[in-house]
Amino acid sequence: MTPQELKENLCVLDQRSPYYQDLLATGIFEEHGECNCDFCFRGKTQIAEYALDLQAELAELKSSLRTVHSMSDLRELRGDI
């Protein structure tokens, strides 16, 4: 799933949700302790947050690996290895 698809499964009170701005526009916005939107009720919010965190960690790891790979290529060209 893409990050946008995952964000569509977040709680409507989460600012990353595409439904958040719609909720604000209705004027029904209330902050309360426990949300009962469909996404929270069905557990979709927790799964979407977990998947978004994993995607962010994966992107960071890929970036780190590219850096390490580039450094090893440089060492190989210099003859350090």
- Per-residue pLDDT of 13-45, as tens digits, reads 899 999 988 888 887 666 555 788 899 999 999
Tell me the C-alpha distance between 55 and 36, whole Å.
Answer: 26
53 confidence band (pLDDT: 50, 70, 90): very high
The 3-state DSSP class for residue 69 equals helix
pLDDT reading at 9 higher than 90:
yes
Q: Which pLDDT value is given to residue 50?
A: 96
Average pLDDT, the chain: 82
Tell me the C-alpha distance between 24 and 46, whole Å.
Answer: 22
pTM equals 0.67
